[in-house]
Amino acid sequence: AGLLNGDTHFLEDESTKVFARKVADHYSARTNQTLEEREASPIIHLKKLNNWIKSVLIQLYARRGDAVLDLACGKGGDLIKWDKAKIGYYVGIDIAEGSIEDCRTRYNGDAEHHQRRKKFTFPARLMCGDCYEIRLDKVLEEDAPFDICSCQFALHYSWSTEARARQALANVSALLRPGGIFIGTMPDANVIVKKLREAEGLVFGNSVYWIRFDEEFSEKKFKSSSPFGIKYKFHLEDAVDCPEWIVPFHVFKSLAEEKGSPAMDRGKEPFEMCCCFDSLIVDEHYDLELVFVKNSHVFVDEYLKKPDF
């Protein structure tokens, strides 16, 4: 833990650094909940739905013995899902020191989890670091290549600047084996923008969440300026309260597919979408190919009907 923190340098200006720290501090401060607290959460159904979506994605793409890189792994909420998929190796990285601590405790078997399950069968390496800032190919030279790279509900934190978005993709691309799979979930920018257009001002939400865009934000800015750095504040009861960034998916897709560029609730309103990229060639270009992208409503509709899930 802390291995990557000491020599962290930021690609962009001071405000980028401040925002990344805000996100890290927010998640670091969120303590582990007991089972009772979790069940009493006002967003328990949304949490369960999100977990189900991640389980389906993992079941769809993980194979026995796979080496998995979990970018922004958080408290290790997906460890059990990976274990069920019988993976062979796991590397988890997160910017929040507190989350990595909790992840380590969970992996080693805290009292609560000990009572419920056996130890995990795969070896794991857990690290604290900024996945969108650091060149991970150097740090993980001995662990790579990975069969799967997963980034769940976290890729949008890379979209504060183009440099960070590119570093995120460069890390995925450099660490996946050819034919390896990237699976991710992030907020659906189309839904957020639609809701913003329908809203009276710059804020919208319901009893469990709200999203507030900055004062300087306007439709014009959206259309004319850079697709990076479009910031909003996201509040989700009992879960999130920090800055996030819009990820226009068509930009994300074209970046991921770039060839030849230098590397560098209630469950009612889920705006997340799931995306899945296939790594074609692993070299200094991203060269990822989109396998599928779906809004989570559509994903849930589709996969709930399938008997295997």
DSSP 219: H
Shortest distance, CB of residue 268 to ligand SAM, whole angstroms?
19
The annotation status of 137 as a binding-site residue, yes or no, is: no
Of the candidates 272, 28, 46, the one whose C-alpha atom is nearest the C-alpha of residue 154 is: 272
Mode of pairing for the β-strands spanning 240-245 and 272-279: unpaired
CB of 115 to ligand SAM, least distance (A): 22
Tell me which of 57, 62, 66, 74 binds ligand SAM, using CB under 6 A: 74
| ∠ Cα 35 36 42 (to 5°) | 105
| Cβ proximity to ligand SAM, 152 vs 161, nearer residue | 152
Three-state DSSP state, 94:
strand
- Please identify, among the stretches 16-24, 36-44, 137-145, 210-218, the one whose residues bind ligand SAM according to the rule CB under 6 A: 16-24
- Residue 151 CB coordination number (10 Å): 25
Distance (Å, rounded) from C-alpha 95 to C-alpha 82?
21
Q: Does residue 154 bind ligand SAM (CB under 6 A)?
A: yes
16 is a contact residue toward ligand SAM (CB under 6 A): no
Q: Does 27 bind ligand SAM (CB under 6 A)?
A: yes
According to the binding rule CB under 6 A, does residue 153 interact with ligand SAM?
yes
Report the residue closest to ligand SAM, judged by CB.
74
Residue 271: closest CA among 140, 147, 156: 156
Q: Which residue stretch of 18-26, 80-88, 225-233, 259-267 sits at the interface with ligand SAM (rule: CB under 6 A)?
A: 18-26
C-beta of residue 275 within 8 angstroms of C-beta of residue 169: no
Joined tokens for residue 10: 């930021």
- Which chain residues interact with ligand SAM by CB under 6 A? 20, 23-24, 27, 72-74, 77-78, 94-96, 99, 130-132, 152-154, 157
